[in-house]
Amino acid sequence: MRIAIGSDAATELTEALKAELERRGHRLFAFGPLTVGEAERDWPLVAEDVARAVVDGGADEGIVCCWTGTGVAIAANKIRGIRCALAQDAETARGARVYNHANVLALSLRATPIPVMKEILDAWFSTPTESGEAQNAWNVEQIARVAALER
């Protein structure tokens, strides 16, 4: 799978995240300081780059990181077609896929231990976005409808 990944800072977590994704066989498209030679970059810009890579089809899914994870999630969700979920644990990641058909995962650089990050990735990649009841698909359609009204 092609994964767009970005963060406003390179940390032990982002290095472990990149290594784990590559170990799982994903092809990475890095943004911000996760790119070799790139300096720290403001989180809204990194989130936008990752989100646009997903909606433009350059990546199948995205992962964004910042200190709390909240800012990158908010910024990514401003891009039409993105459903970014901040996950602090595996069950939240699973629910984001089932109930919200999330296509971008947000992680906190501060609060995500590396073992928990791996559990989150296990849940994220093992739960297809098409899973769940028809009600979940209807809810996702309503998110798109509201987003279209706001533009």
Give the active site residues: 66
Structural contact between residues 46 and 31, judged by C-beta atoms closer than 8 angstroms: yes
Which residues 6+ apart lie within 8 Å of 23 measured at CB? none
| C-alpha 60 chain-centroid distance | 11
Q: From CA 106, how far away is CA 65, in angstroms rounded?
A: 6
Exposed/middle/buried for residue 146 (C-beta within 10 Å: 0-12, 13-18, 19+): exposed
